[in-house]
Structure 1
Amino acid sequence: MKQITSGTEIVLLGTAGGPRLRTNRAGIASAVVVGDALYLVDFGYGACRQSKLAGLDLGHLRAGFVTHLHSDHIADLANLLLFGWYENLENVTRPVRLYGPGSRGRVAAPSADLRAQDVVCPDDPMPGFAATIGHLTQAFATDINDRMRDNGRSHPGRLLAAYDIELPASVPFDPETAAAPPMDPLTVYRDDRVEVTAVLVQHAPMSPAYAFRFDTADGSVVFSGDTGVCDNVITLATGADVLVHEVIDEQWVQRTHGAVDTPRARATIAHHTTAHTPIPDVGRVAQKAGVGTLVLNHLVPAQIDRPRWHEAGEHFTGRLIVGEDLERIPLVP
């Protein structure tokens, strides 16, 4: 790796989990800044505005990574596509490489005893990441074609290139029965500043879903993405300096949904308790991985009267940070 003298830092652009509009936190998005190179992880609502508030220059963006295709992680991709022109994205010397999950392959069965709904877009009901970018471009074709002709803007294909992460045949992934089988980290991207590796994580039925690790000359950071407790995360994070991990208040889940016995409530509890990581378990994951710093991110709920986030520290002996929007964290303190 090329030595970066100015240091490497993590910027928490938005720290709220879930598809809700919040007054105190933006949607989930993070940045890794390595010298003058910028990398983004997830594009929750407000990600582009938060980048602006953080003083980050999209003209320095080299690559972006999407952990999974839930709306709260990709809502701002359209703004990157449509507003990036005017935020120095045209200054990139080659297309920014964007990576995300491929197609699940088939629509998941309804959870618990929920009634099956009609499928939207039956001709392409489960597009992967690259196809999703293609569909966004098509949806905004009127604007894009007008901007290119009226404002002289570049074709989006010169600025952004989207790729599905391809799993090797040796990984026995199955969206129904093996959403996160044990696997060795897979190299997704490499340049003179970073090497980015990934593993599958447990966020079924939304799958494939990934965690990402950035290794730099200054150290390493792992982003868990959305996941339940998952051994692959521990594998990926072992020896890392910083683990940025999602977290859910499991007591809040029971208070909010446990009093009503309906199919929707049961499905909600099942999702929250299996596809996300409770507060005590986040600390245990970080402890097993041996990381120096644990950063709590993708907070669910994002607004709460009785926050318990600090309790993750009861199971972790390193430094604990409860993430806040626009917080900057040096990779190595």
Structure 2
Amino acid sequence: MTDTTVTLTGTGTPLPVPGRAGPGTLVRRGDWAAQVDAGRGTVLRLAELGLGCPDIGLLALTHHHSDHLVGVADLVLTRWVQGGFDPLPVLAPEGPTARFARRLLDGWADDIEIRRRHTGRPAPQGPDVLAFDPPAAPAVVWRSADAEVSAVSVRHEPVEPAVAYRFDTPSGAVVVSGDTRVCAEVEALARGADVLVHEACRGAAVRERGKRFIADYHADTVELGAMAERAGVGTLVLTHLEPAPRTDEDAAAFASEVRRGGYTGRLLVGEDRLTVPAGEPAVQHG
């Protein structure tokens, strides 16, 4: 039995859809937990999973699109309210994403001051921003006793920089794509991974709805299937689903297109709170 798991804390996009929080992925090994991105509703999803914000030992941000970041201040401030007074380590590519993290608490100064004076608790420390230059090829950007984290630049132009992350633990390897087109960079990062959590866009369906600009910088499902097969990924988990599936038939269409691309491994169309133990059967929380 593995002790490395992946949980989708949010599978949505900028448009609100009932039951789908904003983009986010939780990677856990034993008592250690890392959150990748924090879209709307992330703190509530963590609470539903039995986690407090102080339980998060690392936050890794992929890029500066608002749907991936609007829950970050909630995570940091709630961490403080729940008694987490140490700064939260935040991995971020240097540029707009790192600048956002450094300025995170600026707009909350008055709220923080009145809470500090009223409760007597120390003021929160801002995030410990661990900025790195986005690498063109997979490179290690952070290490701990629980995980080695690598990153690579991805193809989400005109949003630059944007990165994907790989978590290598003693009991499994997990890759989270962030937002990107299907690209060789993620393929290299994901080679041999136990679990690849990748955004998915039904390109033809999106273009039919007149949203070509969305399809142009997100991952086409058919191309994704081919890439995941080449990379030898054990389990492919689809998230950031566009257009958002509202029926079982919609979800089946995502899976069908990935299979049409050639992927033969275990395939899961993501729902919020879906948990995937690396190398073990998936579990859907009730």
Q: TM-score, normalising length from structure 1?
A: 0.78
Instruction: Structure 1: give runs of 5+ residues left out of the alignment.
Output: 104-127, 172-182, 258-267
Equivalent residue in structure 1 for 2:92, among 100, 121, 124: 100
Q: Deviations over 1:52-82 (max 9, x none)?
A: 1111232222111011110010010110122
Equivalent residue in structure 2 for 1:295, among 237, 240, 243: 237
Which residue number corresponds to residue 226 of structure 2? 284
Q: How many residues align?
A: 275
Which residue number corresponds to residue 316 of structure 1? 263
Write the distance in 1 (CA, Å) between the matches of 2:27 and 2:186. Answer: 19
Write the distance in 2 (CA, Å) between the matches of 1:207 and 1:272. Answer: 16
Which residue number corresponds to residue 216 of structure 2? 274
**1:48-59 aligned within 5 A:** 48-59=43-54
Write the distance in 2 (CA, Å) between the matches of 1:87 and 1:282. Answer: 40
1:310 offset after TM fit, Å?
A: 1.2
Write the distance in 2 (CA, Å) between the matches of 1:285 and 1:49. Answer: 33
Q: 1:291 to 1:6 in 2, by over 3 A?
A: closer
Which residue number corresponds to residue 162 of structure 1? 129
**1:145-184 aligned within 5 A:** 145-157=113-125, 160-167=127-134, 183-184=136-137
1:287 offset after TM fit, Å?
A: 0.5
Write the distance in 1 (CA, Å) between the matches of 2:263 and 2:83. Answer: 41
Equivalent residue in structure 2 for 1:213, among 156, 166, 185: 166
Are residue 47 (structure 1) and residue 14 (structure 2) matched? Answer: no
Measured on the aligned residues, the alpha-carbon RMSD in Å equals 1.7
Contact 1:210–1:225 (8 Å) recurs in 2 = yes
The residue identity in structure 2 corresponding to 1:217 is P
The residue identity in structure 1 corresponding to 2:198 is H
**Runs of 4+ displaced beyond 3 Å:** 303-306
Q: 1:208 to 1:29 in 2, by over 3 A?
A: same
Contact 1:295–1:322 (8 Å) recurs in 2 = yes
SS in 2 for 1:286: helix
Instruction: Structure 2: give runs of 5+ residues left out of the alignment.
Output: 281-286
SS in 2 for 1:252: helix
Write the distance in 2 (CA, Å) between the matches of 1:42 and 1:84. Answer: 16
Q: 1:326 to 1:56 in 2, by over 3 A?
A: same
1:248 offset after TM fit, Å?
A: 0.6
Contact 2:39–2:67 (8 Å) recurs in 1 = yes
Write the distance in 2 (CA, Å) between the matches of 1:322 and 1:60. Answer: 27
Larger Rg: 1
Q: Deviations over 1:208-262 (max 9, x none)?
A: 00000000000101001110121000000001111111001112212211xxxxx
Contact 1:27–1:45 (8 Å) recurs in 2 = yes
Write the distance in 2 (CA, Å) between the matches of 1:274 and 1:297. Answer: 17
